[in-house]
Amino acid sequence: MDQQGDSGSQQTEREVAVEPLDSDSDEDSSAASGESEMDFLRNLLSRTLGLGSEKPEKVLDELTLEGVAKFMLNEKCKNVVCMVGAGISTSAGIPDFRSPGSGLYSNLQKYNLPYPEAIFEISYFKQNPEPFFALAKALYPGKFKPTVCHYFLRLLKEKNMLLRCYTQNIDTLERVAGLTEEDLIEAHGTFFTSHCVSMFCKKEYTLSWMKEKIFSDLTPKCEKCNSLVKPDIVFFGESLPSRFFSAVKSDFPKVDLLIIMGTSLQVQPFASLVSKVPTDTPRLLINKEKTGEGESFLGMLGFGGGMDFDSDKAYRDVAWLGNCDDGCVALADLLGWKKELEELVQREHMIIDAKCEAEAQEAGAGTLAVEKGGSSTGNPAAEAKQPTKEAGSPMKAKPEQTQDNTTPTDAESGLKKED
């Protein structure tokens, strides 16, 4: 699963001590031993008093997007880790339920919840699953159509630069865009699969199975044991997937460049990851506003915890402010990848649109009854089933049967169409 820390990776592990992979416990207990406490104090003193003078190397020529692009084209930049959040999916029409403007929490009154957050709490869900599934139906995306930013991640993978993408999103769009399970750490779980909650059964169900239950207003029950079936998203009160913790340990010491996109870095432990890269690793933030600055105590003491874009001591952090799609296009342009990115987005969006239309036609031919749910009754679940295979072979899904009809949805991509 995770990359092993073999001798080959030694050269890239700079400054940061690598913790053994076998301590796979959820909580980080390494600070417990007296020895590491001594190391900690020694480091603290040497940094704050200017002893030892281990000044981190300045890797970027300039703290700008241009500086980052120049570094990425350098052969030293091999392992890029991306950390992404809700901001990369908003242009795909997926609401960010944490942002105050989305109005989600204020719309929850009808469910008679003891308090709004209860809808995402595991203990409440197990007793009262109905409100969660009603909300899932209301918020179910009409289409699973990844954004330009998602395809930029795919391009990083194709260029052999993507070590891993850590996502807070549960919308499966990284998978639809062509990242594999191996490329991804879905820190807050995913809607892609579901499981029976009975610890003796744990039968797995697909997204299309779950979608059918959600849209027929049935509380999903296991076909084998009749227990509740829950999407594999992490509820409040559940621990993060253990793979998250093991991957952080093996990936972060090797990171040459960290790219953070569309997240306000406010949810732990995800937010703390920015401090886990080596001290000379550049960190690029593409987001609507600056975030992650000077929050951590260790960061203030010079341990590189918080982001530092603007101070006199800033040496590695770059903020590009704006929406994630624009930021990715700007970076792709500087890298000489812009045309490739645009063609990738255009090709993949055409395939998705053609599938959605074909499925809508199929559904329409069968019965008109499904129209009740409006456009959201297209069958995106089916296309999400095997995103990589299908997406990787555009020939398979040529939209021939729709060519006589209009295909206005292509215009949605906002990118030029050539052949």
Q: Rank residues 157 and 230 by Cβ distance to Zn ion and give the closer one.
A: 230
Sole residue written with tokens 């040496």: 315
**β partners of residue 259:** 82, 284
The CB-of-227 to Zn ion minimum distance in angstroms stands at 5
Tell me: is residue 89 an annotated ligand-binding position: yes
Note whether 125 and 299 are within 8 A (CB): no
Tell me: is residue 289 an annotated ligand-binding position: yes
**61-88 core/surface letters (b: 16 or more CB in 10 A; e: else):** eebebebbbbbbeeeebebbbbbbbbbb
Tell me: is residue 389 an annotated ligand-binding position: no
| CB atoms closer than 10 angstroms to residue 105 | 15
Q: Rank residues 45 and 122 by Cβ distance to Zn ion and give the closer one.
A: 122
Rounded (5°) CA angle 56-312-40? 40
Residues binding Zn ion (CB under 5 A)? 196, 198, 201, 203, 222, 224-225, 227
Sole residue written with tokens 């979608």: 211
Tell me: is residue 287 an annotated ligand-binding position: yes
- 338 burial class (0-12, 13-18, 19+ CB within 10 angstroms)? middle
The CB-of-199 to Zn ion minimum distance in angstroms stands at 10
Give yes or no: 188 in active site: yes
Tell me: is residue 86 an annotated ligand-binding position: yes
Tell me: is residue 171 an annotated ligand-binding position: yes
Note whether 121 and 108 are within 8 A (CB): no
Cα gap 407→236, rounded to integer Å: 42
Q: Rank residues 196 and 284 by Cβ distance to Zn ion and give the closer one.
A: 196
Tokens of 93: 């029409």
Strand order in the sheet with 184-186: 184-186, 162-167, 80-84, 257-261, 283-287, 317-321
Tell me: is residue 379 an annotated ligand-binding position: no
Q: Rank residues 223 and 362 by Cβ distance to Zn ion and give the closer one.
A: 223
Q: Rank residues 229 and 271 by Cβ distance to Zn ion and give the closer one.
A: 229
The CB-of-222 to Zn ion minimum distance in angstroms stands at 3
**β partners of residue 84:** 167, 261
Per DSSP bridges, beta strands 184-186 and 189-196 are unpaired
Tell me: is residue 10 an annotated ligand-binding position: no
DSSP one-letter code for 305: -
The CB-of-228 to Zn ion minimum distance in angstroms stands at 9
Among 150, 188, 195, 349, which one carries the catalytic annotation? 188
Note whether 110 and 343 are within 8 A (CB): no
The CB-of-128 to Zn ion minimum distance in angstroms stands at 19
Q: Rank residues 220 and 380 by Cβ distance to Zn ion and give the closer one.
A: 220
The CB-of-68 to Zn ion minimum distance in angstroms stands at 48
Name the phi and psi angles at 68, rounded to 5. Answer: -65, -45
DSSP one-letter code for 303: I
Cα gap 148→344, rounded to integer Å: 9
- 97 burial class (0-12, 13-18, 19+ CB within 10 angstroms)? middle
Binding residues for NAD(+): 86-90, 96-98, 168-171, 263-264, 287-289, 324
Q: Which residues are catalytic?
A: 188
Binding residues for Zn(2+): 196, 201, 222, 225
Binding residues: 86-90, 96-98, 168-171, 196, 201, 222, 225, 263-264, 287-289, 324
